[in-house]
């Protein structure tokens, strides 16, 4: 997924190419940050050791390569900055599903979803100042760790994240959502929960050419303009309450309820807004159960936060730049694992949902540790073909 020539290119474009020979060149540090995302529970030195030791039998080094100290690794990450990892993710991450991918499409549309989450950060003063700290109902009324907010756009069928926006905790999800809508495009059908709706975001999303099915709040005032054959109805959206001055946007509304005997007092009424105005293209009886596919993205966030990073594990970076760099390292690793799972699913004729993320993650950890992906002593001469084939 991340061959050396691509890594060198994003390093150069980010202005982080070294002016002199170093024990930890920029390319090595990029792979090291990816290693931090892969081996989230290992120490700094142990991550580097696992990445390079696998080459000892293969590369025939004339002298041993000493694992740098923790302080040297800190400094090398600071020199690199977050730019190359962000650029690497943006260059590689794209929707994975092909027409043969099971469960990835509804009719002719690729199913994608928007959702958000928060990540716990190392408890340092600079991290708290940059990202903020949530409140708490116990003790000193503040949470134990600072947090950042992340909003992502992901493919429902493959769980591949291909658009991400990161910001401080004070930014709500709708503020960050504007940063991922550029990844939407024609041929996609985008699902989103009711917390993401605003007239401005709806307009920006539909201008991408993608079709939308977003939930809205039950108290959203929507006049019935025309009742359609499938039970849905046409209505209009306005930018503000002053409807005389605003041009309306046509929308189709699907309303339904879910009967759940286990939760008799819960609000089971759903109201969906859709840009698909013709009920023959997407009947209400299909859109209602289709909305549940949005939970696939919840599973992707669970993979990233719980299984890959580890339950109750805090991101280790102690500075804001290091935090952003580390987050993009985790995102790159998650995307690579999901690419591997999709490839296996296509070859075996299975749905990607039926392949275990945790087992694939363990395979990636074992093979990376036993077959090192780069040689720290050869980066100045350019990658060999063997390095290209085995890059992490």
Residue-wise pLDDT tens digits, 359-374: 999 999 888 766 655 5
Residue 212's beta-bridge partner residues? Answer: 190
Confidence of residue 6 (pLDDT cuts 50, 70, 90): very high
pTM for this predicted structure:
0.88
The pLDDT, as a whole number, for residue 96 is: 96
The contacts of residue 296 (CB under 8 Å, 6+ apart) are 111, 113, 154, 156, 157, 159, 353
Look at residue 177 and give its three-state secondary structure.
helix
pLDDT single digits (tens) 317-365: 999 999 999 999 999 999 999 999 999 999 998 999 889 999 999 999 8
Count CB-CB contacts under 10 A for residue 147: 21
Name the residue with higher pLDDT: 82 or 40.
82
pLDDT single digits (tens) 178-189: 999 999 999 999
Q: How high does pLDDT run on average in the chain?
A: 87
The pLDDT, as a whole number, for residue 265 is: 63
Instruction: State the Cα–Cα distance between residues 108 and 381, nearest whole angstrom.
Output: 47
The pLDDT, as a whole number, for residue 52 is: 76
Report whether pLDDT(64) > 70.
Answer: no
Report whether pLDDT(122) > 90.
Answer: yes
Confidence of residue 384 (pLDDT cuts 50, 70, 90): very low
The pLDDT, as a whole number, for residue 137 is: 58
| pLDDT-wise least confident of 156-160, 195-199, 383-387 | 383-387
Q: Helical H runs in the chain?
A: 4-13, 26-38, 44-53, 56-59, 70-80, 83-92, 125-131, 173-177, 199-206, 284-290, 295-302, 320-348, 357-370, 385-390
Cα three-residue angle 197-198-203, rounded to 5 degrees: 105
The pLDDT, as a whole number, for residue 256 is: 92
Instruction: State the Cα–Cα distance between residues 17 and 103, nearest whole angstrom.
Output: 42
Instruction: State the Cα–Cα distance between residues 29 and 55, nearest whole angstrom.
Output: 17
In eight-state DSSP terms, residue 307 is I
CA-closest candidate to residue 323, choices 89, 69, 149: 149
Instruction: State the Cα–Cα distance between residues 183 and 284, nearest whole angstrom.
Output: 27
Confidence of residue 380 (pLDDT cuts 50, 70, 90): very low
Indicate the burial class of 61 (C-beta count within 10 angstroms; 0-12, 13-18, 19 or more).
middle
């Amino acid at each position: 997924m991340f061959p050396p020539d691509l890594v060198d290119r994003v390093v150069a474009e980010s202005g982080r190419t070294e002016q002199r020979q170093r024990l930890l060149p920029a390319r090595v540090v990029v792979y090291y940050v990816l290693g931090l995302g892969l081996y989230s529970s290992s120490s700094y030195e142990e991550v580097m050791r696992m990445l390079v030791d696998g080459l000892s039998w293969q590369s025939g080094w004339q002298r041993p390569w000493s694992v740098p100290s923790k302080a040297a690794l800190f400094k090398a990450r600071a020199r690199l900055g977050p730019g190359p990892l962000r650029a690497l993710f943006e260059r590689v991450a794209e929707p994975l599903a092909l027409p043969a991918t099971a469960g990835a499409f509804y009719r002719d549309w690729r199913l994608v979803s928007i959702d958000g989450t928060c990540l716990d950060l190392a408890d340092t003063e600079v991290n708290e100042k940059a990202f903020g700290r949530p409140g708490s109902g116990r003790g000193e009324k503040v949470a134990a760790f600072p947090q950042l907010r992340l909003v992502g756009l992901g493919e429902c069928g493959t769980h591949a994240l291909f658009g991400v926006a990161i910001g401080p905790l004070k930014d709500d999800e709708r503020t960050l959502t504007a940063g991922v809508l550029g990844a939407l495009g024609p041929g996609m059908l985008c699902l989103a929960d009711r917390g993401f709706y605003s007239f401005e975001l709806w307009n920006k999303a539909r201008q991408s050419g993608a079709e939308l099915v977003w939930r809205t709040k039950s108290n959203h005032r929507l006049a019935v303009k025309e009742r359609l054959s499938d039970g849905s109805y046409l209505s209009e959206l306005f930018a503000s309450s002053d409807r005389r001055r605003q041009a309306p946007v046509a929308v189709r509304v699907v309303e339904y309820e879910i009967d759940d005997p286990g939760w008799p007092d819960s609000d089971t009424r759903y109201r969906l807004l859709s840009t698909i105005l013709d009920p023959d293209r997407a009947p209400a009886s299909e859109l209602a159960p289709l909305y549940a596919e949005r939970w696939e993205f919840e599973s992707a966030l669970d993979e990233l936060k719980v299984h890959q990073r580890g339950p109750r594990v805090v991101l280790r970076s102690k500075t804001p730049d290091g935090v952003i760099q580390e987050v993009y390292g985790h995102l790159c690793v998650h995307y690579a694992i999901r690419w591997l799972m999709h490839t296996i699913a296509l070859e075996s004729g299975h749905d990607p949902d039926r392949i275990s993320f945790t087992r694939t993650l363990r395979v990636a950890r074992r093979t990376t540790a036993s077959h090192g992906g780069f040689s720290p002593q050869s980066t100045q001469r350019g990658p060999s073909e063997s390095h290209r084939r085995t890059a992490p």
